[in-house]
Amino acid sequence: MKYLWIALAAGGLISGCSVENKTEVSQQVEESSLSAVMLNTQTRAPVAKKVPHELTAHSVTRNDNYYWMRDDSRTDKEILAHLDEENSYVETVLAPLKGNCEALYEELVSRIEKDDSTVPVFDNGYWYYTRYSGENEYPIYLRKPTLEAEPSVLLDANIMSEGHDYFSIGSYAISSDNKLLAYSEDTLSRRIYTIFVKDLESGDKLNDVLEGTSGRVVWANDNTHLFYVKKDPQTLLGYQVYRHKLGTSQSDDTLIYEESDPTFYTYISKSKDNRVIYIHHNNTDKTGVTLVDANDPKASTEVFLPLKDGQEYSVAKAEDGYYVLTNIGAKNFRIMKAPLDGFSDVSTWQEVVAHRPNVFLQNIEVFKNHLVVKEKENGMLRMVVHNLTSGEEKVIPTQDPIYGAYFNANPQMDTNKLRIYYSSLTTPGSIIDVNLDTLESEVMKQTRVSDTFDSSVYASERVMIEARDGVEVPVSLVYRKDKFKKDGTNPLYQYAYGSYGATIDPTFRSSWLSLIDRGFVVAIAHIRGGQMLGRQWYEDGKMFEKMNTFTDYIDVTKGLVEQQYADKTRVFAMGGSAGGLLMGAVVNMAPELYLGVSAHVPFVDVVTTMSDASIPLTTGEYTEWGNPENKAEFDYMLSYSPYDQVEAKDYPHMLVTTGLHDSQVQYFEPMKWVAKLREYKTDDNLLLFKTDMEAGHGGASGRFKRFESTALEYAFVLYLAGVPL
């Protein structure tokens, strides 16, 4: 259910437009209205059998005719056959659009630099970077002692992926002596990783194999011990932190921390000075950290500050203390400094950046002489440099009024350079180094779009749309100047997420150009449930306030139509994961507003899923949606649960996607939802359901292959909008 919003924002994840030979696709697409194409709509849609299954709680009985579709083993032949039938139905219905789909795919991947490298990052004596080449789907991980030296290959994911339908490297870490590489890989897309260790001098794998992990690995400084998080194989929650000694069996590993509260997510990292290993404890309402001495891996763990309801904090170690980003006495967070010893006594903390009710402090980056704070005021981002020596504060200048940025690779403490990723809706992603003393910046790399791309032909806006309760919702818009008329004739593609406090910043997506260049206005609705306007914005869109998320989205659509940004007959909605829940709620509440809806890996069976603690990640979501064991929370979830609220009426054209091995939203949620929609809907609109039989929540793993899904979605959208290629 959680945390795939960034990738989903790029335009869909599930493999759809099958391109067998990327060089042999349709070279010409008829320059006429796509609506002139006749789809194979006479093909009979799959009809799922109904098996009554009663679910009773709090004196409420729900009959779920499609409960039988759940198979945790993913081996049931009848279920697999039905998914195959749905996939065949999509292929048959959209067969007349195959040429358009292939052409869109070629257009999308043409914006990807085939021979590409990341900007090298210096860490502990080596420059690290990744490289892509040619038609290869996966990166090669490299390092070299100087920028002029020949690189050595750490990992070649192209070779490693051979024989696997899905392949992903979770993370990797180098030992302090630079001789050993620990890395994790997932070949099923369930986000359960196996950790391996490689001798970088000989190139040989060690016998150490650590299975069932979250993928993250951290070395102790003795080059002999490493730490990892083990997942519960049923719930997929990472909950146990182990210490492993090289040369020993995983069964002999030492458990150093076990999370007993199933509402928490557990992960690990290492301080910038490499002296402390952090065990992070994350719940949507409370967060905290436990410390491990990286120089003494067998030492006892130490709680930084005990967990407390409603209390959140994260820490960043400096030479003379810990910088603490916390909401203690600060709704929108403040920054404190705690001593190296006795840090659990809050009375010893010193305030560094005070709380301001209208400014949301989002993240920090700590250096020897500087503290950089990422903050937002009225939803507008800025990065503020605090000189820790002089006390001076300066805002890093940017070229765009609305943009997104985040801290990139900054492993060194003693430096005056900050590396950030910067992007706006009209500016492609850029890696920028900023001199923290002078604020002079250097663009180290900007993502290439094409030889003809010109950002000046595009424009972006931030508008505020009044919601039904009088609250103003920020919306980021992008369009092509010569295609935009603001007379109510442009088709609209509206995206949002709206959960977990995740903020969707207005950043560049090259895939959106395929819509924008054809006259679409693309909108990001920063609805409640995210944190665009601060912590309260999140709290006003969760639990008993969740309905605000859905009504905000609907009101944004109405507002954009009223202000003539959109043709009211050609509005398209898109969301994935928790954003798929949003899509499900919206089509139940206001289906008449949308011509087409794309719901990717949608979380739609809210009450049933949240009532079953054996379903992966359910317990970790109680503080986001509620616990159905509590009647009030059960009743509220039931009032908006998309699956439960399906009724006999007209629905928009819909494209629903999932992955058989999805670890976040199980495949059977959208499968059941589609079956029920088919049973109840009273229209003849398209209802297409595509399952990637090899992938999970993140979709296809290759850098090109993932665009097959985007091509499928855009062919669907352009056809419905009557827009030619």
**Residues with a known catalytic role:** 577, 662, 697
Alpha carbons 366 and 320: distance in angstroms, whole number? 12
Return phi, psi of residue 625, to 5°: -105, -35
**Helix (H, G, I), strand (E, B), or coil: what is residue 681?**
coil
Alpha carbons 672 and 691: distance in angstroms, whole number? 13
Residues 6+ apart with CB under 8 A from 365: 316, 371, 372, 374, 407, 410, 418
Tokens in use for 328?
């203690």
Cα→Cα distances 222→274, 275, 306, 401, 719, Å: 12, 11, 29, 47, 60
Alpha carbons 264 and 282: distance in angstroms, whole number? 5
> Is the separation of the CB atoms in 615 and 592 below 8 Å?
no
Return phi, psi of residue 282, to 5°: -125, 125
Alpha carbons 135 and 460: distance in angstroms, whole number? 33
Alpha carbons 9 and 408: distance in angstroms, whole number? 20
Alpha carbons 17 and 100: distance in angstroms, whole number? 10
CA dihedral 172, 176, 178, 179 (to 10 degrees): -90
Alpha carbons 579 and 272: distance in angstroms, whole number? 34
The length of the chain in residues reads 725
Half-sphere exposure for 254 (CA within 13 Å, toward CB): 13
Residues 6+ apart with CB under 8 A from 105: 17, 19, 22, 25, 707, 708, 711
Alpha carbons 207 and 218: distance in angstroms, whole number? 18
Tokens in use for 667?
């495949």
Alpha carbons 233 and 228: distance in angstroms, whole number? 15
Return phi, psi of residue 578, to 5°: -65, -25
The DSSP bridge pattern shows strands 596-600 and 571-576 to be parallel
Alpha carbons 582 and 598: distance in angstroms, whole number? 11
Query: At what angle are helices 547-562 and 578-589 packed, to 10 degrees?
Result: 70
Return phi, psi of residue 146, to 5°: -135, 160
> Is the separation of the CB atoms in 627 and 638 below 8 Å?
no
Alpha carbons 461 and 563: distance in angstroms, whole number? 13
Sign of torsion, CA 58 63 64 67? positive
> Is the separation of the CB atoms in 617 and 237 below 8 Å?
yes
Radius of gyration of the chain (CA): 25
Alpha carbons 713 and 94: distance in angstroms, whole number? 11
Alpha carbons 98 and 25: distance in angstroms, whole number? 9
Residue closest to 665 by CA, chosen among 599, 601, 598: 601
The residue written with tokens 């069976």 in the block is 605
